[in-house]
Amino acid sequence: LAPSEALVKQALGAESEREWKSFVRKYRAEMSTPDVKRVLDTLAALSHQTNFSVGCYCRDENRCHRSVLRALLRTHGADVS
């Protein structure tokens, strides 16, 4: 569920809100494939039975793919805290 290498570079280099939003749009597109949607659905279902964590090395979660991933999991029905 990590962004592609090219998108990681884009995210790390995003200095403006416009650049960050471009990353988010492209990352969401990467996460919209049928295989990834199945993974998101599976994780969402598991979240109702067990706890799990998604980690990353980014200091600021607001400028990290995991904030976008959290929102995607929520849209798939996950119990996210």
Residue 2 CA to residue 69 CA, distance in Å, equals 9
Residue 58 CA to residue 23 CA, distance in Å, equals 15
No. of H helices and E strands in the chain?
4, 0
Global pTM value: 0.89
DSSP code of 61?
G
Give the model confidence (pLDDT) of 11-53 as tens digits: 989 999 999 999 999 999 999 999 999 999 999 999 999 999 8
Residue carrying structure tokens 């990467």: 30
Are the beta carbons of 44 and 76 closer than 8 angstroms?
Answer: yes
